[in-house]
Amino acid sequence: MEILQIFKPYINEITLSISGVIAYLFGRNKRLLEEQKDESDIKHSELDNVQGALGIYRIMLDDLKLKLDAVNLAYNELERKLEFEMIKAKQYEMKIERLDKENRELMKTINTCEFECKFKKNGTE
């Protein structure tokens, strides 16, 4: 009882101090929980941003794939046309060689022909 008599004049200060410590501890726990919640919200927000960016990149990659497929089709068509034109060019070269050979033979015939030939050296009748 003597101890109680000693603390009786300070009971308001002791009660105030104890309630202050208890309020601090509860407030601290609440603050820590809010900080953890804020951190999880930030991480969740960052994950949402990353998922959004990945979605955008997927769309871009799909678009690029479609464009690449279109370019490959156009390239294959041009390659086919080039091969066709090269075949035509080779045929024209062969025709030119044949006509050149025929022209040289005709010129040789004209140059070597006698007066009974229809054409003379200068090409007149």
pLDDT in tens, 40-86: 888 888 888 888 899 999 999 999 999 999 999 999 999 999 999 99
> pLDDT-derived band of residue 39, with 50, 70 and 90 as boundaries?
confident
Burial letters 56-81, b for 16+ CB under 10 A, else e = eeeeeeeeeeeeeeeeeeeeeeeeee
Which of 52, 71, 74, 51 is closest to 63 using CA atoms?
A: 71
- Stretch 16-21: mean pLDDT, rounded? 85
Token duo for residue 68: 């690449």
Angstrom distances, CA of residue 103 to CA of 108, 109, 119, 121: 8, 10, 14, 14
| pLDDT at residue number 97 | 96
Q: Tell if the pTM clears 0.75, that is, is over it.
A: no
Distances (CA, A) of 50 to 40, 41, 68, 94: 15, 14, 26, 64
Report phi then psi at 14, rounded to 5.
-65, -45
* Residue 103 pLDDT grade (very low, low, confident, very high; cuts 50, 70, 90): very high
Q: Can you tell me the distance from the alpha carbon of 21 to that of 15, in angstroms, rounded to the nearest whole number?
A: 10
* Bigger pLDDT: 81 vs 2: 81
- Least confident interval from 51-65, 87-101, 109-123: 109-123
Residue 10 or 74, more confident: 74
* 59 CA to centre of own chain: 9
What is the C-alpha separation between 27 and 14, in angstroms, rounded?
20
